[in-house]
Amino acid sequence: MDVARQALDRMQQVLPQEGFIPLHEPTFGGAETELLIKCVESTFVSSVGAYVDEFERRLAEFTGAARAVAVVNGTAALQVALDVCGVERGDEVLMPALTFVATANAASYLGAVPHFVDSEEHTFGVDPVRLREHLVSAAEVRDGVCLNRSTGRPIRALVPVHVFGHPCDVEALAEVCDDYSITLVEDAAESLGSWRDGTHTGRFGRCSAVSFNGNKIITTGGGGAVLTNDEALADRIRHLTTTAKVPHKWEYRHDAAGYNFRMPNINAALGCAQMDQLEGFIAAKRTLAERYAQAFDGLDGVRFVTEPAGCRSNYWLNAVLLEGDAVATREAILETTNAAGYMTRPAWQLMHRLPMYEACPRMELPVAERLEAGVINLPSGAGL
């Protein structure tokens, strides 16, 4: 039996099939309809309302962050996070080449330039050792500012990504940032419900971005949030994302070019119902991951991706990594599993391969290229 057929057989052991199985669909098994109806009846469906306040409070409580500010989506959350952390037009922002395009877009919207760095195989996140080696040769700190020796541009921030919900080595990355006067802003879009050494992802940098898109572990339809332990920074984010409107009983006064990014109350109502079920979603996804790990154990050239040591992952997207000769079977596995009704997907195309980012600075990316060639995501919804 060829590798593709064996991979399908292992998936069928975990998920006996009845119809098409999506990669990650939302689960609505709580008070979603009830809260949505109450929100509509209240007439407060836009960016002001009790559900927004409640959703933010519960996010902060769950993650341990001092504050959460809910916005329209995860990309907007990352954009405003970079903005308030001082990223300006012409700055460079370090980020993994292996990420969803929104990470690079968020920097680009500010006029900043993505600077792509390599990943490590056991976390899929930015490799802190190789990043430091890269900065030794590529950068220098002058008057408290990290500068790219080749371009002369400031390297203002690092955006590590917790890929597929698995925490990266963010503590080591924070040390690199400290040594090079770089601000750490986490892209925690995929990792709500993931912890590293007992600390929730998104709490290691100055602030972080979380996503609640329809394919995330909980959803608000569209939505995101910025997490931070800095009260003043949270106030600034809230102000900027509410069109920088100065409070007044009737006048429209604005003191900055702000964003219309606040999460609508009706989306937050959905989020509150989802938060009630979050612990159950995490437990279900971890059980699914255990079953995948058992099923794929012993399949030559196919390794199920497990959480890094010292971490507790939400297993947002389950994945296998093809190794050795099995890498050549990736397309056959994708074709075989999808034809059988199991939605599987490769990892994202590396950012420097996209036409709008191909001229951006980057280090050598051998690990990211191996991961791009060998990763396949498996159906991962909590309802499975």
In the beta sheet, which residues pair with residue 114? 93
What pLDDT sits at residue 48? 85
Query: Residue 268 — φ and ψ, nearest 5°?
Result: -65, -30
Residue 18 predicted with pLDDT over 90 = no
Residue 314 predicted with pLDDT over 90 = yes
Q: What residues does each domain of the chain span?
A: 3-27+278-352+361-377, 32-276
pTM tops 0.85: yes
Cβ neighbours of residue 171 closer than 8 Å, sequence gap 6 or more? 196, 197, 204
Terminal-residue alpha carbon distance, the chain: 27
SS3 of 27-45: the string is CCCCCHHHHHHHHHHHCCC
For the domain with range 32-276, which CATH number is right: 3.40.640.10, 3.30.1600.10, 3.40.50.800, 2.102.10.10?
3.40.640.10
Give the containing element (helix H, strand E) for 103: helix 101-109
Whole-angstrom CA distances from 360 to 92, 108, 293 are: 9, 11, 37
Measured over all CA atoms, what is the biggest interatomic distance in the chain, rounded to whole angstroms? 73
The domain 3-27+278-352+361-377: what is its CATH number? 3.90.1150.10
DSSP string covering 335-356, please?
HHHHHTTB--EEPPPPGGGSTT
Distance CA 336, CA 333 (A): 5
pLDDT tens track for 319-359? 999 999 999 999 999 999 999 999 999 999 999 999 999 99
Give the containing element (helix H, strand E) for 184: strand 183-187
Angle, helix 32-42 to helix 265-275, in steps of 10 degrees: 150
Per the CB < 8 A criterion, the answer to whether 227 and 203 are in contact is yes
The band of 47, judged by pLDDT with boundaries at 50, 70 and 90, is confident
SS3 label, residue 62: helix
What pLDDT sits at residue 290? 98
Distance CA 269, CA 55 (A): 8
Distance CA 2, CA 339 (A): 16
Distance CA 87, CA 95 (A): 13
Query: Residue 262 — φ and ψ, nearest 5°?
Result: -70, 140
The band of 17, judged by pLDDT with boundaries at 50, 70 and 90, is confident
Per the CB < 8 A criterion, the answer to whether 202 and 228 are in contact is no
Residue 1 predicted with pLDDT over 70 = no
Distance CA 84, CA 207 (A): 9
pLDDT tens track for 138-188? 999 999 999 999 999 999 999 999 999 999 999 999 999 999 999 999 999
Residue 198 predicted with pLDDT over 70 = yes
pLDDT tens track for 62-121? 999 999 999 999 999 999 999 999 999 999 999 999 999 999 999 999 999 999 999 999
